[in-house]
Amino acid sequence: MTQPQPNYQQEMPTCWWHPNRHTGLSCTRCGRPACPDCLREASVGSQCIDCVQAGQRQDRSQQRQYRAAGYGARTVAGARVSSTVVVTPVLIALNAVLYVITAVQAKSPMDNGASKLSLDGVMFPLAVGQNGEWWRLLTSGFLHFGLIHIAVNMLSLWMLGRDLELLLGKARFIAVYLVSLFGGSVAVYLFDNPAGTTAGASGAIYGLLGGILIAVLRLRLNPVPALGVIALNLVISFSLPNISILAHLGGLVVGALVTAAILYAPEKARVAWQAGALVLVACALVVGVVLRDAQVEKLACYGSASRGVTCVDRSTTGA
């Protein structure tokens, strides 16, 4: 007697979404039977279309919570990845506005150094040490002598600042810029003629140049172009007259130092390490200013700008 053959197709479950289709497959996530058209490959097995959509919604929700908590894609400096440059154009605008004010006050775009704002804000070591006008250590970095001076500096700031701002992030970039500016002014205060005057963003810009070199080394890129640019700028600094070499060198060294502290900080407690390094460098510069104050207070200077100025220690001359 012939036995009837079982109908395996009728015994197979039907697709959850297509009841007229029998299938031996199922979703690895929810376990519901599904035909090949309703399954999508996953990292493990296959998932049905409902589970795929639910997973995508869950991923988007987790990403929003992740970003809201301060996490997300980061650069090697710990900054959030961004394609928007904000700080650099703001700094350029600030320098430009101050230059226009000095030009209007002096009624000359080229001889704006005679304006009241320039006279009260440029770096003048004697005024810092003897009159306590410490603000000159910072304000001098936002003032410029003549149209060519500010044009060259702002072009350099735009070229260097854009990439470094994206790498460091806005807050860290501002910190590097300001500490480098301060470092350039402190170098002038410590080692330059106490009766001379200097101004310009060159100290801060050279700090960015030093930062670019450190960034190239940290990212393991070819350092030759960065080294070439630094060498070329140093040659220009030593070759052209009326350029504050000390401000350039001070900014370069300080900028490279603080950028290295930012980029090489350990990932664990990175922000604390970076903030601590910046505060440490700033405090060291302040100590240098305080020590120099004690020396400048004792100076007596004679002469004029045309004939030269001579400064002597009053404590040794009995003056």
Whether residue 197 contacts residue 128, with contact meaning beta carbons closer than 8 Å, is answered with: no
Question: Using CB atoms within 10 A of its CB, is residue 48 exposed (0-12), middle (13-18) or buried (19+)?
Answer: buried
Question: Known catalytic residue: 248?
Answer: yes
Q: Report residue 172 as tokens.
A: 């860290």
Q: Report residue 125 as tokens.
A: 């070591």
Angle between helical axes of 202-218 and 147-168 (0-180°, round to 10): 30
Active-site pick, 180, 185, 202, 237: 202
Active-site pick, 144, 185, 237, 248: 248
Question: Using CB atoms within 10 A of its CB, is residue 111 exposed (0-12), middle (13-18) or buried (19+)?
Answer: middle
Question: Known catalytic residue: 18?
Answer: no
H helical segments located in the chain? 8-11, 49-68, 87-106, 116-121, 125-131, 136-139, 147-168, 170-191, 202-218, 224-239, 245-263, 270-296, 314-317
Identity at 197, one-letter amino acid code: T
d(CA 67, CA 53): 21
CA-closest candidate to residue 78, choices 167, 203, 176, 192: 167
d(CA 151, CA 97): 13
d(CA 236, CA 165): 25
Q: Report residue 37 as tokens.
A: 């058209």
Q: Which residues are catalytic?
A: 202, 248
